[in-house]
Structure 1
């Protein structure tokens, strides 16, 4: 007697698998769209409440130091140049983390995390200010929340399908890991660069040092700097900054030296 229900052949399996993958991709794209749309309407106060949960985790790694004081003074100078009305609702500050990691990142709650390793790599105040301005650009466009929201929603979806409640119970750890290893799209990085360039010009009246750190990153790919992995840098990115400088007719002035308290870590 012949088998009325023969097993599906490989072609059928591939078709089913392909349909399944397409559905997953469409769901992820829909989640991405909804997060991008929803982030726009999240009040700053909600973000700051999230920060009250996350920021203490980073504060445990930091210490009140001369370096942190200098960095906050520099950040205050940049913040004073922001025209956005929402600035009245924010209170930006730097957390200085005395570790060798070469990285800086935006943390919900108006905080920028800056590692000692990054400060040790910059050669001028202007170069450092461009980095801080770049991170303020991510705040302005709420990039840090978009990436965090997508990561959490995808994890919740996976946990729900897998029935693994431990993934959900470790949500705070997931948040901090996602923040520390934030990956932004090329367009998000370009926007943050443009924002930092604008603040640099407003602060000094010129933009010397705007591309310095990104040039360093392009030269140090082999060193696996964390900033390079989370903030993609390339010759194209530096080229685009130079084009913006030319288009906006920004001046190139003289470098400002780093505060001795940053140099003598």
Structure 2
């Protein structure tokens, strides 16, 4: 193409260029004088321009039309009722197919950008509870935990010997009193939960499933780790949103408790809890070997085809096990260490019999109770 050429169109050329100058409603059919970096519009008795090619804006490519606006000129239009001539099109901006800015950067880049933004939104959604939870006042968290405790409805077990045994275990595993309260609930489910506000509940089903007090100590140590890191509040906020702390006190607290029974803390939180449990057991001179054995038995006991409700609320549902986690506790056992039992035989039996020896404790439990 020469440095300057011409695209001409008359009023009878339906596909030829047509033009509105934005100042009146007249539709013009000018000739277009082309140059390398600009163009001019020439009518029978008028001429306008030059206009830079870079100032053209693709407005409408639907219906086979090619319509362009001009930067800074709201009503200015230059269009074709069909595709423009090749030498003209070589200078014009591409017609929009997906949207102005997408066409400007290209579809592949736009898709990649959307993917990055979506990943960032998901990441923030998952991580935000961990950032927000430390900012929640302890008093609010304590109130939420207290409300959940009240929903257990008289199921906490009490007997003189059992309370003494539990206190002895707590003194060894939580000497700094990180937990506000640790209770045993008369609930026949193999589980333990850390409520918001530093409250820990061991279910009697877990006590009966354990073969020794050392196994209970290992589980208690893990729940204490979740308390120290406020993992429960983080998990609830991730699962149920900010309503947990902003509106949870008058809402479905029982629903929150049921959510806790199936709440998964995530690998990093479980790893921290494992480490906290091992440190506490070593400080109390309690062997982690029995806890490793407990994990092994629990994993084997999870047989497919069981009752969905019951299995969904076992300790394994919220504390997923793996060979590596069991191995961590097994490897932490120090050879030659003169470990001592977490409780004496008499204390262990008192702990196991505490719910049976409490004549006032409420018995019976089901999913429909909602705790």
Which TM class, normalised by the smaller chain length? Answer: 0.7 to 0.9
Assess, with a 3 A threshold, how the Cα gap between structure 1 residues 57 and 40 changes in structure 2: closer, same or farther: same
Could you say what the CA RMSD is over the residues aligned between the two structures, in angstroms?
3.5
Higher strand share: 2
CA shift for structure 1 position 76: 3.3
| Residue in 1 that maps onto 2:290 | 209
Aligned partners of 2:179 and 2:227 also within 8 Å: no
| Equivalent of residue 273 in structure 2, options 162, 179, 192 | 192
Aligned partners of 1:201 and 1:250 also within 8 Å: no
Q: Distance in 2 between matches of 1:51 and 1:239?
A: 33
TM-score normalized by the length of structure 1: 0.73
| Equivalent of residue 32 in structure 1, options 126, 144, 149 | 126
| Residue in 2 that maps onto 1:260 | 349
SS at match of 1:233: coil
Runs of 4+ in 1 over 4 A off after TM superposition: 19-26
Q: Distance in 2 between matches of 1:250 and 1:141?
A: 32
User: Which gives a bigger RCO, structure 1 or 2 (Cα 8 Å, sep 6+)?
Assistant: 1
SS at match of 2:209: coil
Deviations 1:124-144 (A, max 9, x none): 111111111110001111111
Q: Distance in 2 between matches of 1:220 and 1:103?
A: 14
Q: Distance in 2 between matches of 1:52 and 1:227?
A: 22
Larger Rg: 2
Assess, with a 3 A threshold, how the Cα gap between structure 1 residues 61 and 220 changes in structure 2: closer, same or farther: farther
Assess, with a 3 A threshold, how the Cα gap between structure 1 residues 190 and 72 changes in structure 2: closer, same or farther: same
Assess, with a 3 A threshold, how the Cα gap between structure 1 residues 26 and 105 changes in structure 2: closer, same or farther: same
Aligned partners of 1:207 and 1:252 also within 8 Å: no
Unaligned runs of at least 5 residues, structure 2: 1-61, 64-112, 245-249, 357-371
Q: Distance in 2 between matches of 1:244 and 1:41?
A: 34
Higher helix share: 1
TM-score normalized by the length of structure 2: 0.54
Q: Distance in 2 between matches of 1:210 and 1:187?
A: 19
CA shift for structure 1 position 98: 1.4
